[in-house]
Every structure is written in C-alpha cells, then in structure tokens.
Amino acid sequence: MNNFIQSSERVEKAHREDLMVQDNNHSEKSIQHNSLISSTIESSSVKCEKINSPGLNRCVLTESQCIIVRMFILSLLIVTLVYAKSNNPSNDVECLVDKVQLFLEPVTRFLMTPGNEIWRETLQSICSGLMDVIFFITLGYWVYKGNSSRLIVTLAIFYIVRGLLQLVFLMPFPELYFWERPSLPSLVVSYGKESDFFYSGHSGFLVICMNEWEKIGNKTIRNGIALTTIYTVWILIVYRIHYCIDIFTGLFFADWVFGKVDKHREFFDAGFAKVGLIIKTTLDFKLLNLKDFLL
C-alpha cells in the first residue's frame, strides 16, 4: 500500500515538473515574440521618420550620390537650354497672332452674326453684371468690416502699373473685336472701342477679390468669384477685347502683387493709418472753421 502511495506521488510530482517546464517554454516564446514585435515597430518608426524627414536626400542618399543626381539634373538643364536656343521661333508676322482667339473663332463668328444679337448682349451683360456684384460686395465689406489696407493698396499698385504700361506699349485691335454697350448698363465695366489691352484689368481685379475673400475666410464667395473668373476669361477671348497674353499676365501679376502686399501688410497698414489720421485732422479743422464762419 505504501509503495502504491509513493508511486502515485512520484507520478504527480513528475507531472507538475512537466507542467512547469511547459509554462517556462511558453513564457520564453512569448517574450521572444513580443521582442520581435517591438523591434519591428521600432524599425518601422525609424524608417517612417527617415521618409518623413525634411532631409530626405540625406537619409536616403549619401553626399556623393546627391552630387551625382544634381550633376545629372544640371546636364538635362544644359541640354534643354541648348535645344531651346537652337529652336527659337523666327516668325515674321505683320500683326499679332493669338492662337487661343483663333481656336474660339467659331464661337466669335456665331455671336457676331446678324440675328444673334440677343445671345451676344445676354452673355456680355451677365459678365458685366457679375463684375458689378463682386465689386460692391468686396469693397462694401472692406468699408464696413475691413481691418487692413491690403485690398486697396493691391488694387492701386495693380492699376497704376497697368496704366503706365499702356502709355508705353500699344497693341492693335484684333479682327472681330466687339465690346459695344448692351442694353444693361454697368458701373465698373466700360464699353466701346478701347485699346487698354495689356494687361487685363477684368481678370486681375477678380483674382485680387478672390484672394481677399480667401484671407477673410469665406470660401463660398471665393469659389463663386473663381467660377466668375473662368467665365470672364472666356468672354474676354470670345469678344476679343483682350489677347490671351493680356489675361495670363493680368491673372498672375494680380496674384503676385496681392501676395507681396499681404507679406508687408503691417507696413502698408501703418502708412494707411497715418494718411487716415491726416485726412481726419484736415476735415476736423475745415469743419471747425466752417462752424465758426456760420456762427
């Protein structure tokens, strides 16, 4: 009986030892697995940090490899420059040729055909009406809630430079030019045969207003002006009151001037405040003299 009890104890003890060994093996495997996961995550984060790092070229390429890449890019630039120099156009034309106007000529001829006056005037009036609306809401907002001289300064620089350029650079009227006064009058858009081609005031004004509403934070009006700009550019080309180079320059010069003025906004605001103070002092002085005169 005692032998049976001892045998049973030995079996139970051996079973417990086996269970302990299995638990230890399982724990070691778990530790190894967790270590492998941790190392994988760490290596992945390092790679992500390298990829997202501003110095991407320094993480991926050595300095010598960077130099080789730059030399290759420089070689491509030189080849392109040489090719461009040897293939400069030498077209001798008697007048300006606008291929964008020529592309849209079927639309132009349709609108200029007798009997299509209602189409011509309607599209023209829509363009001018949108310009008036944008003028009033943008300048009206500036008068009542404007907190910067950015808009006025940008418009002043844009139109002063435009006027000076038109004094020294003249362009001929394109064929099929049309901008006669429609039935609906406009406050800000002038009509008639005017040679104020370079650069486009229509497109530039819209870009300036669009940027101003972007700064204000009203994306709805900004998007509306963007769509108006696309429509206006189409009208300017179809009615041939501007060449495509006028519109292209007007768009980008207006955006550039706005960016420069906004960058130095504090300087212009300080000057604008001084001018406002001088005007206020002058008006107060004149009103005081008028009051003394009347009394």
Q: Which of 105, 258, 124, 99 is nearest to 192 (CA)?
A: 124
Joined tokens for residue 211: 């940027």
Q: Which of 224, 237, 233 is nearest to 203 (CA)?
A: 233
pTM score, two decimals? 0.72
- Residue 50, classed as helix, strand or coil, is helix
| 242 in the same domain as 195 | yes
| 277 in the same domain as 239 | yes
Q: Tell me the pLDDT tens digit for each residue of 213-265.
A: 999 999 999 999 999 999 999 999 999 999 999 999 999 999 999 999 999 99
pLDDT at 108 over 50: yes
| 63 in the same domain as 157 | no
Residue 240 backbone class (left: φ over 0; alpha: ψ -120 to 50; beta: rest) = left
Instruction: Report the percentage of the chain scoring pLDDT > 70.
Output: 76
| 105 in the same domain as 71 | no
| 134 in the same domain as 60 | no
**In this structure, is residue 21 part of a structural domain?**
no
Return the residue matching tokens 């209602």. 118
Q: Tell me the pLDDT tens digit for each residue of 138-170.
A: 999 999 998 899 999 999 999 999 999 999 988
**In this structure, is residue 163 part of a structural domain?**
yes
In this prediction, residue 46 carries a pLDDT of 38
Residues 6+ apart with CB under 8 A from 120: 111, 112, 178
- Structurally, how many domains does the chain consist of? 2
End-to-end Cα distance, the chain: 138
Owning domain of residue 62: 52-81
In this prediction, residue 90 carries a pLDDT of 75
Rounded Cα distance between 81 and 271, Å, is 45
**In this structure, is residue 159 part of a structural domain?**
yes
Rounded Cα distance between 191 and 36, Å, is 77
| 179 in the same domain as 61 | no
Neighbours of 59 (CB within 10 A): 14
Half-sphere exposure of 251 (CA within 13 A, CB side): 13
**In this structure, is residue 170 part of a structural domain?**
yes
In this prediction, residue 34 carries a pLDDT of 54
| 242 in the same domain as 128 | yes
Q: Compute the mean pLDDT over every residue in the chain, rounded to the nearest whole number.
A: 82
Q: Tell me the pLDDT tens digit for each residue of 62-102.
A: 888 888 988 999 999 999 988 888 887 777 777 789 999 99
| 119 in the same domain as 68 | no
Q: Which of 232, 206, 235, 201 is nearest to 134 (CA)?
A: 206
| 263 in the same domain as 119 | yes
**In this structure, is residue 123 part of a structural domain?**
yes
